[in-house]
Chains A and B, each alone.
Chain A
Amino acid sequence: MKTSAGSLESSDCLITISDSDKLEIIIESVVFAQFGDQIKEVITNTLKEHKITNILVKCADKGALDYTIKSRLETALKRRGDINE
């Protein structure tokens, strides 16, 4: 099942997640050179926090801050039923 959350507006990101038999994170960002590692860390930590291991996360980033990346990922996870808070 594939779900997404967020947008491609400035300061936002569009996160799409789908099934996978391993952990895969694909990041496309206007600030990849400066913040690519950090975006990956936020995604990894958020997944860990919710104990999710095998998933494909695609993040199309337009300069979102950490709280936004985390929120969009959590929304996508919630829409899949992976978390319910």
Chain B
Amino acid sequence: MEHEKRQIVKVINDIDELFTLVDISLNRNISFHHHLRNGDYVINYVLNKYLKEKVQGINLFPSAIFPSYTSILELIKNKQINNITTNYLNGPVAEYISNNGLEGKLTMQTHGGRARSIIEGKNKIDIAFIAAPYVNSYGDSVGYLGKNKCGSLGYSIPDSVHAKIKVLVTDNLVDLDIESPEIDGSNIDYILLVDEIGDRQGIVSGTTEVTKNPIGVKIAKNTSLLLHELGAIKHGFSFQSGAGGVSLRVTKDVRDIMIKENIKASFFSGGITKYHVDMLEEGLVEKLYDVQCFDLEAIESLSRNKMHIPISASRYANPTDESQIIKDLDIVILGATEIDYNFNVNVTTDSHQTLIGGSGGHSDTASESKICVIVSPLIKGRIPVIKERVTTITTLGKNIDCLVTERGIAINPLRKDLIKKLKNSKLKIVTIEELSRIAYKFTNIPQDIVKHDKIIGEVEDRTFEIIDNIYQK
């Protein structure tokens, strides 16, 4: 029996003990994942130690930053943090950085880009602190079991292999074998035991629902009609939609078409919700490749459905990973805070230059998919979604194919093939400039308020190209 030869991982009972074994001041590049979302206790637990020890020059590599990660704010205010490299951030930390910047700089990566950077050694991580809901003594782990289960652990897999020191932080250490673990214990150095890794309420917010807002419903309908006219909803197609209300409504409308025309999809990828699980269980799609679970139904499906497969961020979206899933992705539905005449999309900052998000898998999926559709209301609270130039480029326009709004659809002029296919369409297809003029008929032209005085960060694409700067508000 092979596992009998396996090493038992050293268990540590509190963080002070860990730092008797590891020199905290020499290990300042630290990473976390965000699978516990706003319910995460691990980040604050670990970083409070760095606060207490007054460690200077920290470089932080969380896959995302949520409002409850308040210790990060304190570290920034104390000037203990140098650089932050992440894929997504919102809440007080995001607001503070927007207004004040960092000692060093903020680097916004993509999910695929982060995985690639860690694997290729561009992001050098000293310690990966990995919140793990279900761990055995060998250090194997899965995310879809345990009292604080979160589903797929996808974003933490590269860290669990390539960080110098890998620490699983868990409240659930079992003495059982784990079949096909997401995290391979042979890479793990320590298991740090805590009372709770998170708060269930915050982990599974369960708020992603199909939109009922009539504008959103109209946008979704236009999108499914567009995909249908393009012949993209066909046997064996693959599809990704985020967990936004409009994206989910598109999924529902696509489902209706699939049932009506007896079409089966090959796979759905990305963040998975109960709606995707339902379609798997109805036999409408063959496989779910899951890098992140958005609700409890998705988490529970992982332990029930063999064809619901948790994948690492690298397998999901790393362009140099040979098994990259989204290379085979036909359709992706994405959102936008802003989009410009060149189809560049911003989901990183709002129109007031406050950081409100980030790429996540936006640029990754847009780059790889055959058809990338942006869904957005044309006007949001008097602000037109179309600008001459977005405040911050998250995803380059060359990777965006269509914009669908409630008042019309614009196709990227680079996609001559799509434009040709839609020549006799009954849908309202216009140029993006024309759509912008339609918006201005209602809103008038907003004053340009973007400041370009001080660079506080940059947007790094999955190619490692810096595609835009982030400026202080």
Contacts and interface: CB of A to CB of B under 8 A. Distances in A.
Interface in B336-354: 351-352
Interface in A15-65: 30-31, 33-38, 62-65
B446 A31 contact: yes
Given A33-B352, A34-B351, A62 B447 contact: no
B21 interface: no
Nearest to A37: B447
Interface string A57-84: 0000011111000000000000000000
Interface residues of A, number: 15
A66 B383 CA distance: 13
Query: Does more than half of chain B's interface fall in helix, strand or loop, or is it mixed?
Result: loop
Contacts, number: 35
A7 interface: no
A37 B445 CA distance: 12
A63 B446 contact: no
A21 B447 CA distance: 32
B382 interface: yes
Interface residues of B, number: 11
Nearest to A34: B446
A39 to B, nearest CB: 10
A65 B382 contact: yes
A45 to B, nearest CB: 13
Interface string B377-391: 000011100000000
B444 interface: yes
A64 B352 contact: no
B1 interface: no
B444 A11 contact: no
A8 to B, nearest CB: 12
B441 to A, nearest CB: 10
B26 interface: no
B449 A66 contact: no
Interface in B368-383: 381-383
* The 10 residue pairs across chains A and B that have the minimum distance between CB atoms: A34-B446, A63-B381, A63-B382, A33-B449, A31-B382, A34-B447, A65-B442, A30-B381, A38-B444, A10-B381
Interface of A: 10-11, 30-31, 33-38, 62-66
9 contacts: A11-B381, A31-B446, A34-B383, A34-B447, A35-B382, A35-B443, A35-B447, A63-B381, A64-B382
Interface of B: 351-352, 381-383, 442-444, 446-447, 449
